[in-house]
Amino acid sequence: YESPIKKNGRNGYGANSSPDGNTGPVATWKGDKNYYLENERVGVWQKAMNKGFDTDELSVDDKFGVASQNFAKTHILWRGQRNNCPSAIKWLQTILRDQYEFYNLDIDGVFGSYTEKCVKEFQSNRNIKADGKVGLVTTYYLLEGTVY
């Protein structure tokens, strides 16, 4: 497995730059480089999270960089959450069904027992903690796109 951030050079972005676009003698990356991604799925996720959590906190730039990683750490999708965010849950259900082949999963915006079961199976298939909660690590793997 090759790190998703290696593109060229030592850190993949040239000697004086970082995944968040900072350049100069000292790049100030404060996210987790292991979870940096740049693809269209990230932009879809950013739009869904902004809508689901009624915010414009995320720039829709297709980059899972510092701001997106911090958002994923603090806006966790799970069955017992207090805030009802059907748009965010519909994104989760859609990507699980359409990208990861959980074909029996209904897209209803409700984080019910079957959605939780699908999330846990998804996590287990990737050897990450199968707790049914969609935070940073699970979001990364959802956005990364590899079907196992």
Residue 147 has pLDDT above 60, yes or no: yes
Q: Rounded mean pLDDT of 12-26?
A: 42
Q: Identify whether the C-beta of residue 132 lies closer than 8 Å to the C-beta of residue 78.
A: yes
Q: Rounded mean pLDDT of 61-76?
A: 95
Q: Identify whether the C-beta of residue 115 lies closer than 8 Å to the C-beta of residue 127.
A: no
Query: Taking Cα atoms as reference points, which of 44, 137, 68, 144 lies closest to residue 100?
Result: 144
Q: Rounded mean pLDDT of 107-123?
A: 96
Residue 128 CA to residue 101 CA, distance in Å, equals 19
- Helical H segments across the chain, by residue range: 40-52, 66-74, 86-98, 113-125, 136-144
Confidence class of residue 148 from pLDDT cuts 50, 70 and 90? confident
Separate counts of helices (H) and strands (E) for the chain: 5, 0
Confidence class of residue 141 from pLDDT cuts 50, 70 and 90? very high
Residues of the chain with pLDDT > 70, as a percent, come to 80
Q: What is the pLDDT, as a whole number, of residue 29?
A: 58
